[in-house]
Amino acid sequence: MIRLNSVWSHFFLLIMLLTGCFKEDEIVAPHPRGDAKSDTIAMTSTYKYQVYYNLDSTGTVSTNLKMESDLAFECSADGWHILLNTASFMYAADLGLMPFGIPQDTVGVTWWFDRSDGNPDSTAIGIWFDVTSDGDTISNQHVYAINRGLDDLGNPLGFMQVIFDSLKNGSFYFRFAPLLGGETVFATVPKDPAVNYLYFSFDEGGTIRNLEPQKTDWDLLFTQYTTLLFTDIGEAYPYLVTGVLVNRNGVEVAKDSLNDFSTITFDMAQQLNYSSNLDAIGYDWKYYNFEAGSYTVTLGVSYVIRNHSGFYYKLRFVGFYNDLGQKGYPAIEYQRL
């Protein structure tokens, strides 16, 4: 998890307002090499959209506003993790055993972010339960303060307090209320084994959001997300970036900065080292050119993706602006090997 104390939190919110394990190789049956394809992903200049993408055939699978959810609940059979929406720069603090529903004091607390590599042991919520003798999870009854982060224009979305009560018979049970006190809402999120995570919004009295496509239907997610950057003297700080995350259901990525994109072959792809980190593609395929006052795509970098179907694709970024000169429109070229 990424740590942020209460003093730094105000500093980084100000910044945001001013700125925009490896698995064994799978055997792939012989197949014709695919045609080269190109596409432009419309995230818009405020990066308000998240776009799920399938390399095999469909391209864009679905699009949603990045602020449509607050929490994500793990849907695998043994899954219990609860994630924040890092696209909105959300963070959380464990306040411990406190009376629920009354105004909560967060002065001096330690705030945490989810890690962008998807490490399940490094989440802001962490282990929120004890396991009973029959295998159910029962809450530690800790109150969590949750900062809902910022919308696409940099406006604060407010604070909530939450207790995650239990995970029984495949459903998460929890309650939430405004951080400064107010009506308590009880909510339930049943697991859906077809997806990696099921999403939930505090809006409209609490709403389940079916944002993520079925886990076998997509490879890449074009989105903003929170990651850890470092100052010139090595001090770590969280920051909101724009890039690409991968499907945790079997998608792996290798970065190739040695070979020209046109020369990368299937045989070469099989010799590369792959990562299953969610941010294996990430955001640094571009950089901000201060002299030009715009983003420039990093040349000479290709990504080889072993997708959920077991096929290999090579992909590179060729632009970040649309025909009107608006940022937030990543342009890609890719080809099945």
Same domain, 40 and 147: no
Domain assignment present for 242: no
Residue 145 main-chain phi, psi, to 5 deg: -85, 130
pLDDT (mean) for 32-59 = 92
pLDDT in tens, 165-210: 999 999 999 999 999 999 999 999 999 999 999 999 999 999 999 9
Residue 269: its H or E element: helix 266-269
Q: What digits encode the pLDDT tens for the residues 218-230?
A: 999 999 999 989 8
The mean predicted confidence, pLDDT, of the chain is 91
Q: Is residue 57 predicted with pLDDT exceeding 70?
A: yes
Spell out a b/e string for 172-207, using b for 16 or more CB atoms within 10 Å of the CB, else e.
Answer: bbbbbbbbeeeeeeebebebbeebbbbbbbbeeebe
170 and 263 both lie in a single domain = no
Same domain, 255 and 330: yes
Q: Are 81 and 172 members of one domain? A: yes
- Among 155, 188, 209, the domain boundary falls at 209
Higher confidence at residue 131 or residue 107?
A: 107
With a threshold of 0.75, does the pTM exceed it? yes
Q: What is the dihedral of CA 224, 227, 229, 234, to 10 degrees?
A: 170
How far is Cα 43 from Cα 243, in angstroms, rounded to an integer? Answer: 10
Q: How many domains, in total, are found in the chain?
A: 2
Per-residue pLDDT band at 142 (split at 50, 70, 90): very high
Give the chain's length.
337
Q: Please, which pLDDT band fits residue 13 given cuts at 50, 70 and 90?
A: very low
Instruction: Answer whether residue 16 is part of any domain.
Output: no
If asked whether residues 104 and 196 sit together in one domain, one would say yes
Report yes or no on 281 lying in a domain.
yes
Closest CA to 65 of 40, 98, 43, 94: 43
Q: Which band of pLDDT confidence, cut at 50, 70 and 90, is reported for residue 17?
A: very low
State residue 315's pLDDT score.
98
Proportion of the chain above pLDDT 90, given as a percent: 81
* Mean pLDDT confidence for 117-129: 93
Residues 79 and 174 in one domain: yes
d(CA 312, CA 316): 14
- Candidates 301, 292, 282, 281; CA nearest to 321 is 292
**Residue 233 located in a structural domain:** no
Are residues 82 and 118 located together in one domain of the fold? Answer: yes
Please tell me the predicted confidence (pLDDT) of residue 136: 74
Q: Using the predicted structure, report yes or no on whether residue 60 has a pLDDT greater than 80.
A: yes
**Mean pLDDT on 257-282:** 96
Instruction: Please name which of 86, 50, 45, 83 lies closest in space to residue 66, comparing C-alpha atoms.
Output: 50
How far is residue 197 CA from its own chain's centroid? 11
- Asked if residue 222 belongs to a domain, the reply is no
Claim to verify: residue 169 and residue 299 sit in the same structural domain = no
- 269 plus 285 within the same structural domain: yes
Are 269 and 193 members of one domain? no
Question: Structural domain of residue 197, as residue ranges?
Answer: 71-209
Q: Is residue 26 part of a domain?
A: no
Range 73-80 average pLDDT: 95
Domain boundary (190, 209, 228) is at 209
